[in-house]
Amino acid sequence: MKQIKINGAELNYTDHGSGEPVVFVHGVLEDYRTWEAQADRFSKNYRVITYSRRFNFPNKNSKLTDKTYLDNTRVYRMSFAGVYPHYIKKAEKKGRTKEEVDAIIFWLTGYDKKTLLQQIDRKIDFETFFAQAPQLNPDVTKITGVICGYRVEDIEDKLMQKIRYLDKLIDELAKGKTMEKILRK
């Protein structure tokens, strides 16, 4: 893993192969590891660069700045309906199911199948999604660990913490944890 410093941020990246460069950029909920299979394949014919965006694993945390606040605001305004298919895709790539993704969302937020579909159909943003959630599960305090470069239990912004709780649970699903462990039973 190599590092480069850009605009005061240290970014971790990989660089393999030779030839015409190809840069793989991950989505909001992922990191450089998303592209491991493709990077191996492409590096036979190309120079392949994968990197983790700022605030994503394994990059170091930065102090909260106005820029970070604006980044958070951008995440809050993202459509939950736009990200939901990515949760499902991430799970299914690892042999898990949409039903398990939904069970995680139901457990975390108190939504049921009908109310979740209503929120998806309304294309609400994350801020509204969590503001209208029937009841955050009281066992969320049992969710610990690192997601997107932050210890989820230490995130001070309550909305961002709820979003990262969901990210962490989906990540655990994709990593093969049992539903019993994911739902903190």
Q: What is the pLDDT of residues 81-137, one digit of tens each?
A: 999 999 999 999 999 999 999 999 999 999 999 999 999 999 999 999 999 999 999
Q: Give residue 114's pLDDT.
A: 97
| Helical residues (DSSP H) of the chain, grouped into ranges | 36-42, 66-76, 80-93, 98-109, 113-122, 126-131, 158-174, 179-182
pLDDT tens-digit map of 129-167: 999 999 999 999 999 988 877 788 888 888 889 999 999
Q: Are 78 and 28 in contact (CB under 8 A)?
A: yes
Q: Give residue 31's pLDDT.
A: 78
Q: Give residue 108's pLDDT.
A: 98
Query: What is the residue extent of each domain of the chain?
Result: 2-51, 66-182
- The C-alpha R_g of the chain, in whole angstroms, comes to 17
For residue 182, what are its two tokens? 């994911």
Q: Are 129 and 163 in contact (CB under 8 A)?
A: no
Per CATH, the homologous superfamily of domain 66-182 is uncharacterized protein sp1917 domain (1.10.8.290)
Average of per-residue pLDDT values in the chain: 87
Q: Are 170 and 90 in contact (CB under 8 A)?
A: yes
